Amino acid sequence: MTSDLEMTDRQSPIGDCVAAFLLLSRIPVGWYHFPDDRPPNLTSALWAFPLVGLVIGGSGGAILVAASLLGLPPLVASGLALAGMALLTGAMHEDGLADMADGFGGGRDAESIMRIMHDSRIGAYGVLALILAMALRLSLLAMCLDTMSGWTLIGFIALIGAANRFQPVLQLAVFPLSPHAKLAALTGRPGTGRLIAALVVWFPAMVWLFGTIATVAIILPAFAVSLWIGQTATRRINGLTGDVMGASTIIAEIMMLMCWASLGAMLPA
């Protein structure tokens, strides 16, 4: 189902990119002005979500490399990289992870789940989810420093960031939006063309970097988990919300880095 906000007039590719950055980041895009009678079309912008991930991930990778060159310990460098990425996104994905953990962990039905997820306070499930996610991400990024460096490392973290932001696009192509969704209600189904465009942003580059077999081994488990999350959300709250999709990006990042780490000898140094 297409969002009611999707316009008959096509939004330009630049407009798509700006809309994606407006939604998914704190990066200033005030240089671009949307017409007064045509607000940002977020459904049209879905293909550009991985572009935001490229920039956020590339920034995190650059911080990771710079901190390492300054002689900082790997865990410290990883912490700085995660802090930088969180600042660029406003920690919206981390917030989604905590909200989803609280809601799905403590709610019994759709109404109670959504009431908990919309509560600004964080509960035990949310705290635990954030601690575990942060510990895993710190460890995995530190491991990246042991096997990669320079532009290769920056490019890898950028591609992981792009692949993470592909997860909401994939979920929206398969599952409906929850009637309880708020910000996510501004989006709709991406359609085949936008889904392919979102994949093209990062998939060929990852294949070039690691090869087809290794790339598929890295991304398929993350895709499977994202689809499982979408199915669970559809069963429990009748569809996707922004928190669910935000949580999926964090979980996909962890899954991809874990798969990369487990492949070890298959991947280039």
The answer to whether residue 4 scores a pLDDT higher than 70 is no
Residue 3 inside a domain? The answer is no
Confidence at 10, pLDDT banded by 50, 70, 90: confident
Rounded to an integer, what distance in angstroms lies between the CA atom of residue 168 and that of residue 49? 9
What does the pLDDT look like over 179-197, one tens digit per residue? 887 776 678 889 899 999 9
How high is the pLDDT of residue 32? 80
Rounded to an integer, what distance in angstroms lies between the CA atom of residue 258 and that of residue 178? 30
In terms of residue numbers, what domain contains 189? 13-266
Mean pLDDT of the chain, nearest integer: 90
Q: How many CB atoms lie within 10 A of CB 129?
A: 24
How high is the pLDDT of residue 268? 53
How high is the pLDDT of residue 138? 96
Rounded to an integer, what distance in angstroms lies between the CA atom of residue 35 and that of residue 21? 17
Residue 6 inside a domain? The answer is no
**What residues form DSSP beta bridges with 196?**
none
Confidence at 265, pLDDT banded by 50, 70, 90: very low
DSSP state of 204: H
Q: Give the count of domains, the chain.
A: 1
What does the pLDDT look like over 118-166, one tens digit per residue? 888 889 999 999 999 999 999 999 999 988 889 999 999 999 999 999 9
Q: Which of 185, 247, 152, 197 is nearest to 16 (CA)?
A: 197
Rounded to an integer, what distance in angstroms lies between the CA atom of residue 79 and that of residue 73? 10
Torsion of Cα atoms, 230 then 233 then 238 then 243, to 10°: -100
Residue 198 inside a domain? The answer is yes
What does the pLDDT look like over 32-89, one tens digit per residue? 888 776 788 889 999 999 999 999 999 999 999 999 999 999 999 999 999 999 999 9
